[in-house]
Structure 1
Amino acid sequence: MSLAHQVLAVNDDLPIRTDKPVHSGKVRSVYWLSAEDSKRLIAQKGYDVAPDAPLAIMVISDRISAFDCIWTGEGGVRGVPGKGAALNAISNHWFRLFKSQGLADSHILDIPHPFVWVVQKARPVMVEAICRQYITGSMWRAYSKGERDFCGILLPDGLVRDQKLPELLMTPSTKGILRGIPGVPEADDVNITRKNLEDNTAAFGFKNSADIGVYETLLRQGFGVISDALKRIDQIFVDTKFEFGYVKDSKGNEKLIYMDEVGTPDSSRIWDAKEYAKGKILENSKEGFRQFLLNHFPDPDIMLNKDRMKEREALARDNELPMQALMDVSTTYTDIAEKVTGQPIVLSDNPKAEIVQVLNDKFGLIV
């Protein structure tokens, strides 16, 4: 079996029964089930959701996204071997840990295959909930140019790159383009303040102003649980992004839950603690791949300048990356997944065929 076949690059063409268009994001594709199939599975599997809750099959891919573009490798390899399975394994591990420690639930109801989640539909909070323990990346770039106000939080002078911050910072940004909110530009990923949230609670998708405090608590708790666990395997949880949404349980109670993925190398920075103690940064996250791209092409400004997005898209479309670059990412992702979960990440010989079989045999969802 060739490496190109082991990589699941296209994940929106599976014969899963659905009566809606397949939604395909940068990495995951979502197949919304019919009302009949949703009701059937809720009854058969005993999921703790409202009887009429819409369910979906969420299939991860091995695609690699960075700087808002999808990148490919030589020889027709259109993703990173093992990446999808590693991301799901890490998220699944953290969600189980959250549940065992009494934190909020997630949108995941079932995990029939390493690439697949059965999820319930949530009403999303339109906030990218970002937490930072160290000053690095985009925050350092802005700080080094003199910026001191980050989402309404004033940082002191004299900080140095990659140092631990005086306290855990919450620096939220918009999720998608929100229109008509005073003081918030109509663009994706715009930094916002707590006051923005308080003044426009409903526009950001919060049920009430008290839930702003709930989301901050869940963000802080989730960060703490992952940070403590990573510390035990000599890793540093540098920063991360969480997403939240509302669902109803089987009794009709509405609750705020964790959505999407958590604590993965895609959504977080993770550093090796022993190397950090020596004054070196060893990335165990996608940041290493971002740095590769900045060094690989002669003009790094194309990656960093949003006004040059068309040039960036052309670079990604027209340049196959060296296979070694993708294999380096594969090693980073599978190594950190195995450290976190204590389990090996095994590459599927034919992930699509496996997914189809399990969804047919155990869920009756294949057409």
Structure 2
Amino acid sequence: MSLADQVMAVNNNLPIRTEEPVHSGKVRSVYWLNAADSARLIAERGYDVPADAPLAIMVISDRISAFDCIWHGEGGMHGVPGKGAALNAISNYWFQRFRQQGLADSHILDIPHPLVWIVQKARPVKIEAIARQYITGSMWRAYADGEREFCGIRLPDGLQKNQKLPELLITPSTKGILEGVPGVPAVDDVNISRGDIDRHFAAFNFSSRDDVDRYETLLRQGFELISARLAELDQIFVDTKFEFGYVTDRAGEEKLIYMDEVGTPDSSRIWDGPAWRDGRVLENSKEGFRQVLLQHFPDPDILLNKDRMPERQALARDNALPTEVLMELSRTYTGIAEKITGHPVVLASNPQAEIIDVLGKRYDLIG
């Protein structure tokens, strides 16, 4: 069996019983279960949710997204071997520790397979919760161009590229397009200030203004927990994106939770400690792949300029990347997952068949 066969490239065509269209994102696909299957699983498995709560099966793929495009490799490699299992394993590890330390729960109720989560439907907060400990990436590019205010926070002059910031910065942006919010442009992924969120907390889907404080606290606590664990592994937690939402438990209590993924190479920058002390930035995250793409193509502006999106999409569609690029990325993802969790990432020989088997035999969700 070839490596391409072990890659979970397509994850929206599984015969999972559902009455709604499958929602397929860049990396994950979501199958909403029907009311009868949701109620049955809640009763059988004892999930801490209301008896009529909507549940979903979330299946991760090995697809690789960068610069808002999906990339592929030579020889029919439409993903990165082990990437999906690595991302899920890392998120599972952090979500479990957040819960153990009394921070907050997540949307995950069950983990039937390394590529699969059973989740409770959440009401998402419409914020990309971003925390930065170092000045790099887009923030550095804006700073180098003379910008000093970020999300209502003013930075001093004289900072150097990749320097540790004086304090952890929270620089949120919008998740989705918000219409009719004064001072907030109606475009996706636009920077917002704490003042914007406080003034219009309901527009961002917060239940109360106090929950704005709560989300910031959970973001800081989550960042600090991950940063401390990575420091034990001689890794540096540079910056990250969290997402939050609301769910209701069995007792009818609404609670703010972590959702999507946390502390992964897709949602965070992680630098290697030994290389950093040697004066080099060695990425243990997707940022390394972005840098490879910028060096691989002769006109990197296509990847950085949003006005050239049609050209960018054509690059991704028409160019198969060298196999070694994807294999090096595989080593990055599986390597950092094994460091964090202490367990190997095992590649499935036929991921779709495995998922169908476990969801059919143990959960009766196939057909």
TM-score range, shorter chain: over 0.9
3-state SS of paired residue (1:244): strand
CA distance in 2, matches of 1:156, 1:135: 12
Trace 1:83-232 onto structure 2 (pairs within 5 A): 83-232=83-232
Partner secondary structure for residue 243 of structure 1: strand
The residue type equivalent to 1:335 in the other structure is G
Measure, in 1, the Cα distance between the counterparts of 2:306 and 2:341.
Answer: 36
Deviation of the 1:156 alpha carbon: 0.2
Q: What is the rounded CA distance, in whole Å, between the counterparts of 2:113 and 2:158 in structure 1? A: 49
User: Match for residue 27 of structure 1?
Assistant: 27
Task: Give the distance between the partners of 1:43 and 1:260, measured in 2 at CA.
Answer: 25
CA distance in 1, matches of 2:161, 2:50: 48
CA distance in 1, matches of 2:220, 2:51: 32
- After the TM superposition, which residues 299-338 of structure 1 pair with which residues of structure 2 at under 5 Å, given as runs? 299-338=299-338
The DSSP-based 3-state class of the residue aligned with 1:103 is coil
Q: Report the equivalent of 1:77.
A: 77
- Measured after TM superposition, the shift of residue 167 of structure 1 is 0.1
Provide the C-alpha distance between the structure 2 equivalents of 1:52 and 1:170, rounded to a whole number of angstroms: 36
CA distance in 1, matches of 2:214, 2:103: 11
Counterpart Cα distance in 1 of 2:207 and 2:96: 26
Structure 1 position 247, deviation (Å): 0.3
Identity %: 73
Say which SS state the counterpart of residue 93 (structure 1) adopts.
Answer: helix
Q: CA deviation at 1:196?
A: 0.6
Structure 1: how far apart are the matches of 2:298 and 2:274?
A: 32
Residue 217 of structure 1 deviates from its aligned partner by 0.3
Code of the residue aligned with 2:233 in structure 1: it is: I
Shift of 1:122: 0.2
Q: Cα distance, 1:278 vs. partner?
A: 1.5
Aligned counterparts of 1:81 and 1:180: Cα–Cα separation in 2: 43
Local SS of the residue matching 1:348: coil
Q: What is the SS of the residue equivalent to 1:89?
A: helix
Determine helix, strand or coil for the equivalent of 2:72.
strand
For 1:240, what is the secondary structure of its paired residue? strand
SS in 1 for 2:203: helix
Determine the C-alpha separation between the residues in 1 that align with 2:181 and 2:320: 41
Q: AA paired with 1:170?
A: I
Please list, as runs of the form range in 1=range in 2, the aligned pairs for 1:231-246 lying within 5 A after superposition. 231-246=231-246
State the 1:66 CA deviation.
Answer: 0.2
2:338 is matched by which residue type in structure 1?
E
After superposing the two structures, state which structure 1 stretch, 245-254 or 272-281, moved more.
272-281
Aligned partners of 2:100 and 2:254: how far apart in 1?
A: 21
Q: Could you say what secondary structure the match of 2:212 adopts?
A: helix
Opposite residue 140 of structure 1, the aligned amino acid is W
What TM-score do the two structures reach when normalised by structure 1? Answer: 0.99
Q: CA deviation at 1:84?
A: 0.3
What RMSD, in angstroms, separates the aligned Cα atoms of the two structures?
Answer: 0.5
Number of aligned residue pairs: 367
Matching residue of 1:45: 45
Equivalent residue for 1:252?
252
How much does 1:86 deviate?
0.4
- Whole-angstrom distance in 2 between the partners of 1:329 and 1:176: 29
Q: Which amino acid aligns with 2:43?
A: A
2 CA distance for matches of 1:123 and 1:131?
A: 22
Distance 1:157 1:353 in 2: 56
Q: Distance in 1 between matches of 2:246 and 2:346?
A: 34
Shift >6 Å, 4+ stretches: none
Q: Could you list the per-position Cα deviations for residues 103-132 of structure 1 after superposition, in whole angstroms to 9, with x for gaps in the alignment?
A: 100000000100000000000000000000
> What is the distance in 1 between the residues matched to 2:248 and 2:163?
41
Q: Secondary structure at the match of 1:105?
A: coil
Secondary structure at 2:147's aligned position in 1? coil
Residues 289-323 of structure 1 show CA distances to partners (whole Å, capped at 9, x for unaligned) of 00000000011111111111111011001111111
Q: Which of 178-187 and 18-27 deviates more?
A: 178-187
Distance 1:18 1:328 in 2: 37
Gaps of 5+ in 2: none
**Pairwise CA distance, 1:279:** 1.2
Distance 2:208 2:98 in 1: 24
SS in 1 for 2:332: helix
Q: CA deviation at 1:287?
A: 0.3
SS at match of 1:204: coil
* Separation of aligned partners in 1, 2:159 and 2:306: 27
Please state how far the C-alpha of 1:22 moved relative to its aligned partner. Answer: 0.1
Q: Deviations over 1:133-186 (max 9, x none)?
A: 000000000000000000000000000000100000000000011111111111
Q: Structure 1 residue 52: deviation in Å? A: 1.0
- Mapping for residues 278-293 of structure 1, pairs under 5 Å: 278-293=278-293
Q: Deviations over 1:194-223 (max 9, x none)?
A: 111011111100001110000000000000
**For 1:130, what is the secondary structure of its paired residue?**
strand
